[in-house]
Amino acid sequence: MLSKNRKDKLVTCQKKLGYPFKNITLLNQALTHKSFVNENNCNYKDNERLEFLGDSVLDLIIGEYSLKNFKNRMEGDLSKIRAALVNEINLSKIARSLNLGENIQLGKGESLSGGHNKNSILANTFEAIVAAIYLDGGLKRTTKVILPLFKSDLHHLADTSRYRDYKSELQEHSQGKKIAIPVYKVEKEIGPDHDKIFEVTVSISSKIVGKGKGKNKKEGEQEAAREALENLNAKQ
């Protein structure tokens, strides 16, 4: 049973999303981290299964849009475009714009460690939200709600001849600064073979400067390079 305070938060959240849920418990589940369920021993369901579905729905929405709107791009370029849009950093940015962090139910330990603002938790929660809308309203409605959230990024990609190649940019940065070349390493492979996630680090002079995740090694490396560039530029 949802408390009045929780219901009020969910109503505010769905207004920010621009989608009124028929079954608001789906939204609550999407905003419930497994640490909250484990610590409170409650009847709530956590958002991991929704996250799994949302990842696929998001790939379909962005993939279909890219196919229809980037007609001169080859399959490899379309995959890179999708990877430039559907990644932890970009999804967490969208989640912040929707104020999802303040509405996520976390366990005390996760909350104290800054979980409400962690990129991984925010990105995963956003994917769970996508699945919740899909289950509640179907694909057409989900596309109508979700696609505008990527509008600025999609317009940027449409106006440029190539997506940003963060690995090449990091390589050029290193050469320009006359420092060691970046070295990439797959630290971990998570999940079954058909849905594996690669966790990758990139190091310069044996120091890790960026971390990334992707559905394959290349996506993970691009994400790691992207974070490395952000970290290095922030120090300048």
Q: Which of 186, 180, 174 is closest to 229 using CA atoms?
A: 174
Sheet containing 207-214: order of strands:
183-190, 197-204, 207-214
Active site residue 159: no
| Alpha helices per DSSP H over the chain | 4-17, 24-30, 34-40, 48-69, 75-85, 88-97, 108-112, 119-137, 139-146, 151-159, 166-177, 217-234
Alpha-carbon gap, residue 200 to 189, rounded angstroms:
9
**Burial group, residue 116, by CB count within 10 angstroms (0-12, 13-18, 19+):** middle
Active site residue 189: no
Token pair of 141, please?
């409605």
Catalytic-role residue among 127, 136, 221, 227: 127
The region that residue 70 occupies, defined by phi over 0 for left and psi between -120 and 50 for alpha, beta otherwise, is: beta
Token pair of 129, please?
């939200």
The DSSP 8-state label assigned to residue 32 in this structure reads B
Catalytic-role residue among 46, 55, 88, 219: 55
- How does 141-160 read in b/e, with b if 16+ C-beta sit within 10 Å? ebbebbeebbeebbeebeee
Token pair of 75, please?
């399959």
Tracing tokens 């969208």 back to the chain, one arrives at 94
What are the catalytic residues? 55, 127
